[in-house]
């Protein structure tokens, strides 16, 4: 039986016209352009217009993606709308988008915070590989501004509104998602959440008075979580694909904070130039963040057929997800074809140990001998820790 792949064939985006700059925010809260830029890298963000809705933005991006793919809404087998800011609690955002597009297929809403589109893309890949569907539209769309307290400078400087869409179609040629990882740590749910307005604490005068219907965030906790997850998840997923970081043509991380992206680049030991950033123009657009960056990278010519792109996102949940995608049609790494995920992880660990051995011999020729013997075991253990620390910096 011929192996099926989920090829990325279409992409599109929609961003509102209204801009909210750092200078604008200076007039609203106690902050400054310098403070925001130094801590986040963000200069401006887009805010919904009067006629913009979650559905209208998703449809605009979806129509553009369908046009690029060369298919109509009637050709779709399934629609996945990834959002945490739907127009209504009921019905699903997926059904509203399906109707507005004129599609005749199943549709669903996926809520996984800023990781949403990655979750949706992995779901689409699995459905296509299993032979259940042949053409799936995955949309990341958010109107985060509706849930922002513009008296809270911890959150109001970060978020913006946008939509981006992708089309995945069945192919018998190696392409699409080569490897993926999805994760969740619900123990940290309150690090990024909206306490009021749900069934646990329904909307009421008390909820509004206490401003519990707005996004609340523990910035240091989220920053610590993200700094750990971005690099580690990328490394595992790249290894699962049978690749090395050097094989990746472009990294597209969640566009939340420039310092988190820079930390990820250092962890991966890759030049920052390989990490795409457009957060300076849009801020954190949640589930739209990664696909919006993907679409713009394609439009700028930074991704072409055969290129391999690694993407990672993190968000409310706390959740995370990463994927390695091969653009267009091309040859998949022989390691990906021949080795299982377990074998790939084993080879990755072997490679890491080889690097450590080479580094300790190159930097400190006298240390290997000390580690083999001649000094107390406690000292040898400390030396090993020191070497590993040097290799990680």
Q: Does residue 284 have an active-site annotation?
A: yes
Q: What DSSP element (H or E) covers 392?
A: helix 377-392
Q: Around 9, how many Cα atoms within 13 Å sit in the side-chain half-sphere?
A: 22
List the catalytic residue out of 22, 54, 257, 284.
284
Q: Does residue 105 have an active-site annotation?
A: no
Instruction: Return the CA Rg of the chain.
Output: 22
Phi, psi of 139 (to 5 degrees): -120, 135
| Cβ–Cβ under 8 Å, residues 170 and 236 | no
Q: Does residue 257 have an active-site annotation?
A: no
- Determine the Cα–Cα distance for residues 75 and 69; give it in Å rounded to an integer: 11
List the catalytic residue out of 213, 254, 257, 336.
254
Q: What's the length of the chain?
A: 393
Going by C-alpha positions, the residue among 83, 68, 56, 72 that lies closest to residue 138 is: 83
Strands (DSSP E) found in the chain: 5-14, 18-21, 44-47, 78-82, 106-110, 135-142, 162-171, 176-184, 192-193, 216-217, 250-253, 308-315, 319-326
- Determine the Cα–Cα distance for residues 50 and 128; give it in Å rounded to an integer: 37
- Determine the Cα–Cα distance for residues 233 and 245; give it in Å rounded to an integer: 12
| Cβ–Cβ under 8 Å, residues 325 and 176 | yes
Give strand pairing partners of 79: 107, 137
List the catalytic residue out of 114, 156, 257, 336.
114
DSSP reduced 3-state for 211: coil
Q: What is the DSSP string of 122-170?
A: HHHHHHHHTTS-SEEEEEEEE-GGGG--TT-HHHHTTB--EEEEEEEEE
DSSP reduced 3-state for 41: coil
Provide the annotated active-site residues.
114, 254, 284
């Amino acid at each position: 039986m011929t192996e099926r792949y989920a090829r990325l064939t279409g992409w599109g985006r929609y961003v509102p016209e209204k801009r909210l700059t750092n200078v604008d925010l200076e007039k609203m809260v106690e902050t400054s352009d310098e403070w925001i830029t130094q801590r986040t890298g963000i200069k401006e963000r887009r805010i919904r217009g009067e006629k913009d809705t979650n559905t209208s933005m998703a449809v605009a991006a979806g129509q553009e993606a369908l046009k690029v793919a060369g298919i109509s809404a009637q050709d779709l087998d399934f629609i996945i709308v990834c959002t945490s800011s739907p127009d209504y609690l009921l019905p699903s955002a997926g059904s509203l988008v399906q109707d507005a597009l004129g599609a005749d297929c199943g549709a669903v809403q996926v809520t996984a915070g800023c990781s949403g589109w990655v979750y949706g893309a992995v779901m689409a890949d699995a459905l296509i590989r299993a032979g259940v569907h042949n053409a799936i539209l995955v949309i990341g769309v958010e109107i985060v501004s509706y849930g922002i307290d513009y008296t809270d400078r911890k959150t109001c400087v970060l978020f913006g509104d946008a939509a981006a869409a992708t089309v995945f179609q069945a192919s018998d040629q190696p392409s699409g998602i080569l490897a993926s990882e999805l994760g969740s740590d619900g123990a940290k749910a309150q690090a990024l959440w909206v306490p009021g307005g749900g069934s646990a604490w329904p909307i009421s005068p008390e909820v509004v008075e206490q401003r519990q219907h707005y996004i609340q965030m523990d910035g240091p906790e989220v920053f610590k979580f993200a700094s750990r997850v971005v690099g580690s998840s990328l490394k595992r997923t790249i290894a699962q694909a049978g690749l090395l970081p050097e094989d990746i043509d472009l990294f597209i991380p969640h566009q939340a904070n420039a310092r988190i992206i820079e930390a990820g680049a250092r962890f991966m030991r890759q030049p920052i130039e390989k990490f795409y950033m457009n957060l300076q123009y849009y801020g954190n657009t949640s589930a739209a963040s990664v696909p919006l960056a993907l679409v713009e990278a394609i439009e700028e010519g930074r991704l072409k057929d055969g290129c391999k792109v690694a993407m990672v996102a993190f968000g409310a949940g706390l959740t995370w997800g990463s994927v390695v995608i091969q653009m267009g049609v091309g040859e998949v790494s022989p390691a990906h074809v021949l080795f299982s995920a377990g074998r790939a992880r084993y080879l990755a660990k072997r490679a890491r140990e080889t690097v450590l051995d080479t580094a300790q011999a190159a930097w400190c020729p006298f240390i290997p001998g000390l580690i083999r013997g001649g000094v107390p075991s406690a000292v040898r253990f400390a030396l090993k820790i020191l070497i590993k620390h040097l290799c990680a910096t």
